[in-house]
Amino acid sequence: KASAVRTDAPVIFRASGLADGARVRDVSFDARAGEIVGLAGVVGAGRSETFATIFGERRAIAGEMELDGAPYRASSVRQAIARGVALVPEERRSQALIMEDSVRANVALGNWRGTTPAPLLPFVSDGRAQRTAERMMELLHIKARDPQVAVRTLSGGNQQKVVFGRWLARGARLMLLDEPTRGVDIGARQQIWQTVEDFAAAGNAV
């Protein structure tokens, strides 16, 4: 099922005949600018594996993918992220967050270029990382005393918002969401879906 979207909106992501040799078999779909496309199936149907293949965690053995009209096939997670693809995985504690680390460090994770004082300098600016984390905390209503607190001290909903904050800070283009509201309370669930809708409305795809 897809959200209402203009039929002439540009296709952000296209998969055609995608397969990984295991559970992902002949998967084809388009995701247009402003669109939220839902993938549904029973446990073990291959939803998570499809996302992992798009995100460069699994190798595609067949099929074609396009991102913003250009050929796309990530051979690593690093390549996928560099192209603007983001994944909010099913299990945030083990797959998305460093629980003992701070909100600031988790938002900055994988976004070191966005937190360096200058493009060619190989170290992180604490000030820039702090300001980015504060901006994401305000935008997503993350309830934490400050960006220095450990992620493990936050509620499940606020932990999930930290994952979203990481990708929003990077300027992601395509967001892959695997059970994004599992284990969060109703208030956080509403905030997360509003964030998803706003992301799509900005001309991106989910």
- pLDDT of 121 > 70? The answer is no
As given in the structure block, the two tokens for residue 202 are: 């900005």
Judge whether 174 and 84 are in contact, CB under 8 Å. yes
Quote the CA–CA distance of 133 and 106 in Å, as a whole number: 9
Question: What is residue 122's predicted lDDT score, i.e. its pLDDT?
Answer: 47
Judge whether 33 and 203 are in contact, CB under 8 Å. yes
Question: What is residue 40's predicted lDDT score, i.e. its pLDDT?
Answer: 86
First vs last Cα of the chain: how many Å apart? 12
| Residue appearing with tokens 């040799």 | 21
**Secondary structure of 186-204 as H, E, C letters:** HHHHHHHHHHHHHHHHCCC
Over the stretch 139-165, which tens digit does the pLDDT of each residue have?
Answer: 999 999 999 999 999 999 999 999 999
Question: What is residue 141's predicted lDDT score, i.e. its pLDDT?
Answer: 94
pTM score: 0.87
- pLDDT of 14 > 70? The answer is yes
Mean pLDDT over residues 104-126, rounded?
65
Amino acid (one-letter) located at 9: A
Quote the CA–CA distance of 125 and 188 in Å, as a whole number: 30
